[in-house]
Amino acid sequence: MPTRRLYYDDAFQKEFTARVMHCEILPPDVNSGITANVWGLLLDRTAFYPTSGGQPNDLGKIGDANVLDVRDEGDEILHLVDRKPSDPDVFCCIHWPRRFDHMQQHTGQHLLSAMFQERFGLPTVSFHLGSELSTIDLRGPEPAEEILEGAERAANQIIFEDRPVNVRYGTADQLSELGVRKEVEREGLLRAIEIESADLQPCGGTHVKRTGQIGLVLVRRCTKVRQDWRVEFVCGGRAERIARHDFLLTRRVADLLSCAPDDLESAASKAIVERDAHFKNARAHLQRLAEAESLLALQATTPDSRGLRIFSCVFRGMSSEYIGFFATEPAKTEKTIALLASEDGSLLFAQNPSAGSDMAQLIKQAFEKFGGKGGGTRDFARGKLADPSQTNAAVAFALERLSAHGN
């Protein structure tokens, strides 16, 4: 027996009584986030909206049972609940804030889509009502900022005019005579939603009574998704919350930058320019420091019996950039080798060509023994150990090999 859909004629019915026609236990459905056994209920009539047409299902209570999901099964509507109602005659109530939110978003979508179509020739090819944001996909050329703003403004104008939103019934032919653009494949009597003098759409969803109840439409981002343009928007209570959130965010960032909200853009640009200049400056200082420390270290290193100066060091708390700068000086100094590392396991082996060793070979041997990746040339090689705790051992190993081989 088909379920009577009370929401078709009165989308504002929040409570109703019904009779349980069928009740069976269903296995968990992990895909729907249902991890325990649930009960599937068919009622003789229902005001619960099932997931369909882009609008998510309602939640609420059927007797003492909590509604977990509502599904459209052709003629019947299946309610998934967490327990079997104790009585076959049930008092039901819909979680109204959720439903009203869905009605604001859905009616707002009809209106916004109509404005994109009518004013800018951009048809809506799909609609999704999400838990935070809703989206429509527009087909056609990329909508410029003025088009997004123009559609938003036109939709809000119709909201301010508080026009009636009517439910109409008719055959596909009758509806197309009335101006329905969309091709409808279903047979028989169809339901359509009319926003007076603005839009007529075949739709089984729940809608507000007048455009004023949409409150406000705010268009957000527009991004390309495959061949279409996905426009994010919010209506009603969501628009209120997001506007408040944006304001607080703006104010907090303005406080951080010690400026008025209107000066945020110039203050942020200035901060970025300063940051870049400081970065450049700090890098130059780092280079000078590394070079100076490198010179001191070289002066303190005594040449061995072959006349080779071999300097080794594991740096603590210095970046790999510092080590790179540090290596420049030994590489310029006759018969000098530097085995440098930082405590994160980065290795840098550099030599002056006159030292006559092979840094690429040496670092390869170190990685073979301790594990890690890297490489380079005869005079300059770098890489990183897989295990930073091996850094000291790896440097000691390289030093050992240089002394042992005498080259």
Query: Would you tell me which residues interact with Zn ion (CB under 5 A)?
Result: 203, 205
Minimum distance of Zn ion from residue 235's CB (angstroms)? 13
Q: Which of 219, 54, 230, 251 is closest to 150 using CA atoms?
A: 219
| Tokens coding 379 | 């005079």
Burial tier of 23 (Cβ tally within 10 Å: 0-12, 13-18, 19+) = middle
> Pairing between strand 4-5 and 45-46?
parallel
Q: Which residues touch 374 (CB under 8 Å, ≥6 apart)?
A: 347, 363, 367, 381, 382, 383, 384
Interatomic CA distance for residues 117 and 119, integer angstroms: 6
**Number of neighbouring beta carbons within 10 Å of residue 166:** 14
Tell me, what DSSP letter sits at residue 179?
T
Cβ proximity to Zn ion: between 192 and 359 the closer is 192
Burial tier of 281 (Cβ tally within 10 Å: 0-12, 13-18, 19+) = exposed
Cβ proximity to Zn ion: between 103 and 347 the closer is 103
Minimum distance of Zn ion from residue 199's CB (angstroms)? 10
Q: Which residues touch 67 (CB under 8 Å, ≥6 apart)?
A: 48, 58, 59, 60, 61, 79, 80, 81
Minimum distance of Zn ion from residue 55's CB (angstroms)? 7
CA–CA distances in Å: residue 230 to residues 110, 112, 227, 246, 348? 15, 13, 10, 21, 49
| Tokens coding 252 | 């907090």
Cβ proximity to Zn ion: between 151 and 341 the closer is 151
Cβ proximity to Zn ion: between 69 and 199 the closer is 199
311 sits in which H/E element = strand 309-315
Q: Which of 51, 85, 63 is closest to 15 using CA atoms?
A: 63
Minimum distance of Zn ion from residue 34's CB (angstroms)? 27
Minimum distance of Zn ion from residue 173's CB (angstroms)? 20
Interatomic CA distance for residues 84 and 107, integer angstroms: 35
Interatomic CA distance for residues 134 and 234, integer angstroms: 6
> Pairing between strand 134-138 and 228-235?
antiparallel
**Number of neighbouring beta carbons within 10 Å of residue 208:** 20
Interatomic CA distance for residues 242 and 122, integer angstroms: 26
Minimum distance of Zn ion from residue 134's CB (angstroms)? 11
Cβ proximity to Zn ion: between 199 and 329 the closer is 199
Minimum distance of Zn ion from residue 231's CB (angstroms)? 16
Cβ proximity to Zn ion: between 204 and 374 the closer is 204
Cβ proximity to Zn ion: between 79 and 207 the closer is 207
Q: Which of 7, 12, 33, 407 is closest to 209 using CA atoms?
A: 12
Minimum distance of Zn ion from residue 105's CB (angstroms)? 10
Q: Which residue number places its CB atom closest to Zn ion? A: 203
Minimum distance of Zn ion from residue 78's CB (angstroms)? 21
Cβ proximity to Zn ion: between 11 and 398 the closer is 11
Cβ proximity to Zn ion: between 23 and 184 the closer is 184
Cβ proximity to Zn ion: between 108 and 330 the closer is 108
Minimum distance of Zn ion from residue 33's CB (angstroms)? 25
